[in-house]
Structures are given as C-alpha cells and as structure tokens.
C-alpha cells in the first residue's frame, strides 16, 4: 500500500517548493483584483502554505512537531537559492540537505513577523520574499532539487515520498531539464515515488486547465512538456480532492491564477497523511 505513510517524527515528510523567480514574474497575475505581480502573489501563497503546515503539526501545548522537512528553492537571474535562510543560500548540486531543509518544528524561527492587521487570529509570519530577476535556469534548479531530494530519500527510506511543488510562468532557457525532471520522479521511498506537481502561472485570461488526464491541446510545447513531467496523482491523494478528478489526472495546472495557486499549494500538500 503506497502513499499511505503518515508523517511523524520517526518518518517525517518532505515538501519542496520550487519557485521560478525570473524577470517575467514581475508581470501581473491573472485573476487578482489588485493586479499583484506574480512573484508577490506566489510569495503570499507560499507563506500561507508554510503557515498552514506549521499549524497542522501543532500539539495542544503549542509545541510544533518535526513531522515535515521543507525546502523553498528559487531560481532566476541570481542562480539557484534556498529561500528560507537569511540571506538566501546559494545552491549547487553539492548542497547539503541539512543546511537547506527546515523542519516544521523550526520553521517559525526562519520567519519574519508581519505588522499586525488588528486581527489576533490572522497569520503574522512571512518566509518568502517576492523576487523577479533575469533568466529561467530551470535545468540548474532541477539539478539541485534532484541532488537534495535524493539525499533526503536516502536518509528517510520509509517516509511518505517527497512532494515537489514547482511554479513557473515561462519556458526554460538554459537547457532542457527533462532528464533531471525524470530523475526526480524516479526517486522513491518504500512508500512511493517522488511526486512532482507543476503549476504554470498566467497573466492573461487564457483558459485554465487543472489536473488534466490528457496532454493539453493548446499548441504549446512547453505546456505539453510540463504535463508530461508531472506525476500522476496517486489514488490515495485523489480521493481527498474537493473536486472530481478524472482517472489518470496529473498534478499539473496550466494558466493558473491567484486562486488556483493557493488551491494547488493546499491540495498538493498531503495533509491527510499528517
């Protein structure tokens, strides 16, 4: 029975946010009344996800359990960086997972406090800075991710497999990352293969396609590529979906806007297994 291991101190989970921070992320995101730049909407949604993960690992005394290791990796004109550390940590394939992954138990200590909104129950922490700069070194980002995740998997062979949530708005332009993406999804623990879910951000009103079971027929090679490297959604996760999924649906969203971004984060995170 795969994809059934619940996250725990002994068998923590692993979530990697892989975030495009290239120049085009400065453009407005679709479906956002405030017309925020994609980088800003993405940072806000990622912060919400990180906050929610900590909340899910909370016991009644306020102790946060070390049930999940998190990495946030950004790629753009600055290269590939780990975004949770201050300053952001430059990464290459030799990166040490112990310096990049942050346990849910420690995540709050990496956050900045946001000025109060007047609502004592509103989230008040920020982890991800919005950045938009330069090229799209996706191949380098996937290379680093494969290296980090493979070491994490070796150290946690019985855990729920890592989930990589990749958000991009553009074509890769420093090489073809297909071998790296394939290598990533070939990694596995005893509980299943690594899950790679991709979300393509859009600034226009083009038709959004969420979690398709067939390649999108939109005449866009990049969309087809993203679909092909996206993991099929395991039935154990599909059954927790709040909306119907076709059999064989993949973890892929095309032309997503602000709302789909948040849904992608919350849905792609295996909350049921925490």
Partner 1 sequence: MRLHCDVVCVPRPDGIDPRGQDAYGFDERAGLVAVCDGAGSLFAAGDWARCLVRRFVADPEPLLYGDPGPWVAAAAADWRAGLDLDTAGDRVRRAAAGGSGATIAAIRGVPHPDGYRLDVAAVGDTFVFVVRRGLLCLAHPPLPGDTFPARPQLVTTSDPDPPARTSVELQPGDTIAIATDATARWVTGRGATFWPELATLPADRLAHALARRRDEGEIADDDLTLVRCHLR
Q: Cα separation of 104 and 232, whole Å?
A: 27
Least distance to partner 1 from the beta carbon of 167, Å?
A: 24
Locate tokens 């990166």: which residue? 95
Residues facing 14 on adjacent strands: 69
**Nearer of residues 4 and 186 to partner 1, judged by Cβ:** 4
Quote the crossing angle between the two packed helices 138-155 and 178-186, to the nearest 10°.
10
Tell me the C-alpha to C-alpha distance, in Å, between residue 6 and each of 52, 55, 198, 211, 254. 17, 16, 23, 24, 30
Inter-residue contact 176 to 121 (CB < 8 Å): no
**Nearer of residues 34 and 242 to partner 1, judged by Cβ:** 242
Residues within the interface to partner 1 (CB under 8 A): 1, 4-6, 8-11, 54-56, 58-62, 64-65, 108, 120-121, 123-124, 239-240, 271-272, 274
**Nearer of residues 48 and 178 to partner 1, judged by Cβ:** 48
Least distance to partner 1 from the beta carbon of 60, Å?
A: 4
**Nearer of residues 65 and 229 to partner 1, judged by Cβ:** 65
Least distance to partner 1 from the beta carbon of 116, Å?
A: 10
Is the link from the previous residue into 172 a cis peptide, with omega within 30 of 0? no
Determine the length of the chain: 274
Least distance to partner 1 from the beta carbon of 164, Å?
A: 21
Least distance to partner 1 from the beta carbon of 98, Å?
A: 22
Residues facing 65 on adjacent strands: none
**Nearer of residues 175 and 271 to partner 1, judged by Cβ:** 271
């Amino acid at each position: 029975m795969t994809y059934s291991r619940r996250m725990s101190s002994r068998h923590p989970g692993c979530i990697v946010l892989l975030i495009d921070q290239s120049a085009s992320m400065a453009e407005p995101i679709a479906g956002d009344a405030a017309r925020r730049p994609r980088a800003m909407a993405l940072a806000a949604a990622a912060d919400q996800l990180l906050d929610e993960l900590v909340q899910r690992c909370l016991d009644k005394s306020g102790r946060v359990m070390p049930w999940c290791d998190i990495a946030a990796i950004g790629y753009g004109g600055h290269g590939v960086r780990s975004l949770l550390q201050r300053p952001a940590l430059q990464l290459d394939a030799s990166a040490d997972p112990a310096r990049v992954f942050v346990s849910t138990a420690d995540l709050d200590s990496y956050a900045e406090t946001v000025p109060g909104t007047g609502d004592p129950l509103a989230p008040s922490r920020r982890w991800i800075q919005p950045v938009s700069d330069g090229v799209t070194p996706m191949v380098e980002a996937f290379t680093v991710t494969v290296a980090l995740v493979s070491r994490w998997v070796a150290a946690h062979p019985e855990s729920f497999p890592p989930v990589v949530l990749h958000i991009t708005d553009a074509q890769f332009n420093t090489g073809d990352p297909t071998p790296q993406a394939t290598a990533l999804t070939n990694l596995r623990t005893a509980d299943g293969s690594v899950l790679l879910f991709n979300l393509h951000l859009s600034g226009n009103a083009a038709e959004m396609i969420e979690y398709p079971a067939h390649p999108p027929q939109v005449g866009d090679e990049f969309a087809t590529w993203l679909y092909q490297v996206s993991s099929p959604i395991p039935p154990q996760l599909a059954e927790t979906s709040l909306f119907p999924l076709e059999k064989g649906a993949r973890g892929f969203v095309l032309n997503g806007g602000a709302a789909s971004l948040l849904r992608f984060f919350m849905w792609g995170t295996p909350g049921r297994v925490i």
